[in-house]
Structure 1
Amino acid sequence: MVKIYGHRGAAGTHPENTMISFEEARRAGADGIELDVQLTSDGEVVIIHDESLDRTTNGSGFVKDKCLKELQKFDASNKFSHLYGETEIPTLQELIDWLRGNSLLCNIELKNSKFFYPGMEEKVIKLVREARLEDRIILSSFNHYSIVLCKKIAEEIEIAPLYRDGLHMPWAYARSLGAGAIHPDIKAVPNEIIRASIEAGVAVRPYTVNKEKDIENLLAVGCSAIITDFPAKVVLMRDQFFNKNSNVNADIGGIGSRLKNT
């Protein structure tokens, strides 16, 4: 069955990349969550998408220039503060402690294309290994050198390249990196690429899939997973799709049995 990952938790309805958002994705029945990590000035791994604090918090400046204590003073509730109140930028350690209490899969995106954050790969992998979550984690990045390094450090953890533009035979490229999946922009992955990748044994998890027509298409083509801002809606659509198709198959099977008996 197609797996559903909540993009930055449930970013369409809750403050992105916060514990409130991750908990909503879990409550909605998502199979997993997607999140972004960067390093603070004192070397802590924190969960936030933008390199700058300006869009998602009431702070300003770059994440890399602030220590953890400074960052934790900022409100990360963004446009949802009137609904859920104030909330902090979480650490990856906090998220991993939370993952221990559930069975969610987790895609950790390393945000190291603009700022390289030397040592971030090792820090993330150390936290994952300490919690023994290797089989539930996917490490992805637009910086493909970074995920290759991750694979060298931790062969047991899955990696997946992120990309925005068309890529020729992406399944072959993924294999060349040691990756078991690709994470393309939904606009860069036509159905024939999805089918060919899955046939080659490479999972396909497009992002960020919010339009109903795109969701319906990915369900119909049998895509490996969908990364969406609205996990509650997409989980419902997926369940309805598979229930409908299982009922159709059951009806066809029943008709076949009756025909054999006539």
Structure 2
Amino acid sequence: MTFLTIGHRGVMGVEPENTLRSFVRAERSGMDVIALDVQLSKDGVLVVLHDAEVDRTTDGAGAVADLTLSALRELDAGQGEHVPAFEEVLDAVRTPLQVSVHDGAAAAALAELVLRRDLSTRVEAASVHDEVLAETARLLPGVRTVLHSDLSGEAADVVARALACGAHTVALNIRELTLDTVESVHAAGLKVTGWTVNTLQQLRLARALELDGAATDFPEIRSTGRFLA
């Protein structure tokens, strides 16, 4: 069984999250997929940031939606890195990308870009919001989609949600996963990955649960995982 190692916002345990520096290091570390987040700037450009505000990850303040791309570029996102436009990431690395969208406007912008640049085999869309993921799947038929969720309810609830919004994969908290849950997801014809796998113990658990992959903050998880295969 193929086990995918997913670089979480690049390799944010050792590099500034969601920056070109982090993505390039994730690629050089051999990550199978790089997971990142996109937001829309004030002037309608897809930029790579997890939060709706820039306060936590840059030296600036305010909502991403209130800042132009030019203003965002002036911010320090860590170690001199700037907030990248999504298209910059596409040009900087060749690794497949898992792109998380948080609202309908970002989903529409992502769909337009994927179609314009013919990225359907390289990009998969992810979201914690069922309705956003469903809209993305509608706009991009055939593109792989990932539902990020916790396990606040029964495994059957997560499976039902994933099927309803057209997800191909369910990404769940490794600390909440059980073999029964994984088997339920697989029985529905879906893949399941765990987040965030940052220790050898968690990696062994991910393997024991027969997950299809795991998101990690650290590049060494990739090399360690090869020996556990």
TM (normalized to structure 2)? 0.93
| 8 Å contact kept, 2:174–2:206 | no
Deviation at 1:211, TM superposition (A): 2.7
Deviation at 1:72, TM superposition (A): 0.4
User: Which residue does the alignment assign to 1:216?
Assistant: 204
SS in 2 for 1:121: helix
User: Which residue does the alignment assign to 2:144?
Assistant: 158
User: Which residue does the alignment assign to 1:76?
Assistant: 77
More helix by share: 1
| 8 Å contact kept, 2:185–2:191 | yes
1:182 aligns with 2:170: yes
User: Which residue does the alignment assign to 1:27?
Assistant: 28
Larger radius of gyration: 1
Q: Structure 1: which amino acid aligns with 2:16?
A: P
Deviation at 1:148, TM superposition (A): 0.4
User: Which residue does the alignment assign to 1:5?
Assistant: 6
User: Which residue does the alignment assign to 2:134?
Assistant: 148
Q: Structure 1: which amino acid aligns with 2:92?
A: W
In the alignment, structure 1 segments of 5+ residues that lack a partner are 113-117, 243-262
- Of 96, 119, 127, 1:105 maps to 96
- Of 78, 89, 96, 2:90 maps to 96
Aligned pairs, number: 226
| 8 Å contact kept, 1:166–1:189 | no
| 8 Å contact kept, 1:96–1:131 | no
CA distance in 2, matches of 1:129, 1:96: 14
User: Which residue does the alignment assign to 1:239?
Assistant: 226
Deviating beyond 4 angstroms after TM superposition, the runs of 4 or more aligned structure 1 residues are: none
Deviation at 1:186, TM superposition (A): 2.1
| 8 Å contact kept, 2:7–2:26 | yes
Deviation at 1:179, TM superposition (A): 1.1
Q: Structure 1: which amino acid aligns with 2:4?
A: K
Q: Structure 2: which amino acid aligns with 1:206?
A: G
In the alignment, structure 2 segments of 5+ residues that lack a partner are none
Q: Which moved more, 1:221-230 or 1:183-192?
A: 183-192
Deviation at 1:127, TM superposition (A): 1.3
Q: Structure 2: which amino acid aligns with 1:95?
A: V
Deviation at 1:217, TM superposition (A): 0.9
- Of 225, 235, 238, 2:213 maps to 225
CA distance in 2, matches of 1:132, 1:167: 37
